[in-house]
Amino acid sequence: METLNTKIVSKVFLKIYSKLKVSAFLSYFVNFKFENLKSTVMLPIHEYQEQFLIYLESQNIAKEPKNLYQPIDYILQLGGKRIRPVLTLMTADIFDADYKLALPAAMAVEVFHNFSLVHDDIMDDAPLRRGKVTVHEKWNINTGILSGDAMLILAYQYFENYQPETFRKLAKLFSKTALEVCEGQQYDVDFETRNDVTIPEYLKMVEYKTAVLVAAAMKMGAIVARSSKENRGLIYDFGLNLGLAFQLQDDYLDAFGNPETFGKQVGGDIIENKKTYLYLKALEFSKPAEKEQLLQLFSVKLDDNTDKIAAVKEIFNATGASKATQKAIEEYTLKAFETLEKMNISQEKKEVLKAFGENLMERKV
């Protein structure tokens, strides 16, 4: 029985660990202090958060039938950093609009995000979400599916607060993004049982599963602000490239980060045999003997992974995969900066966004 319990705990840990990686970009963002830049044009992050929470509390979500809407209210009240809606509000502010006009769009982003969590938890059979019982565990699987479906529809309804032209642009972007997120999730599931995953496929999975919703959240703020088509495209590209850079940085730090500051177990991806950018680059660059060793190491799961982690890291370094990953991080971050320079916004606002990107490149956690 003790062995069985250990396996169950390990399985739950790996699922929770995987979810932590997906949200790493957003967790870091909320800890970045715009006020440290002494900006006179941007609000502190917590003010956007507070205004969004006030708006969230004002919504009459818990209505009849209770077994449909109570789970929705429950998941939305579980907390979290609310960074996606914050990005929407912040971007509206960047493009000189009253950021409160973007609250309905921000709410749509948050409702969709939580819809995806409800269904992801069912797929993963996850017992906990943000330290609380998941919707399908608190109610049942059928309720989780139906309430999640309703959330997707509710998200669209928040766009009805806008004039027809703005509604059309928001709905078009939202439909594209929602489908891409679903595609990214499916790619991630497929990769678990595939041994022929390519680097372009991995980057597409990361882009769809994580980066596109960050980029879309920012573009929605620009749409509400009635910014130019060029600026809307540029802010989307900025968010997309920064999201990709951060995920690759997270892959790198998972193997080579400082255990005392990383905030989670170093080597978790190696333990879980995750096909990360580091792993795929190592396969690409490795000699036959190294490739055979790496494939063998990623075919087993052990009780004690100390030697496995050390051996894999040695291969990552010897093949040049670690340096290639660092180079890719820099390239995606520089792409974000290039789009930033093209935006028709004040230099001070550019500096705020650029400082965030620079902190991203320099982080050690």
Closest among 287, 350, 290, 360 to 326, alpha carbons compared: 360
Mean pLDDT score of the chain, rounded to an integer? 88
Q: Considering the domain boundaries, does residue 2 fall inside one?
A: no
Domain annotation covers residue 7: no
- Residue 40 falls inside a structural domain: yes
CA distance 94 to 192: 40
- The verdict on residue 4 lying in a domain is no
State pLDDT tens for residues 299-350: 998 889 999 999 999 999 999 999 999 999 999 999 999 999 999 999 999 9
7 in helix, strand or coil? helix
CATH of the domain at 115: 1.10.600.10
Secondary structure class of 118 (helix, strand, coil): helix
CB-count burial class (<10 Å; 0-12, 13-18, 19+) for 177:
buried
Tally of structural domains, the chain:
1
**Domain annotation covers residue 6:** no
For residue 178, tell me if it sits in a domain: yes
Residue 36 in tokens = 């440290």
- Tell me which residue of 70, 73, 78 sits closest to 133, measured CA to CA: 78
User: Sorting pLDDT into bands at 50, 70 and 90, what band is 364?
Assistant: low
Task: Using the structure block, give the residue that is written with the tokens 């680097």.
Answer: 199
pLDDT digits (tens, 9 = 90+) for 256-311: 988 766 656 689 899 989 999 999 999 999 999 999 999 999 999 888 999 999 99
Domain that residue 252 falls in? 12-362
Q: Is residue 5 part of a domain?
A: no
Please check whether residue 1 lies inside any domain of the structure: no
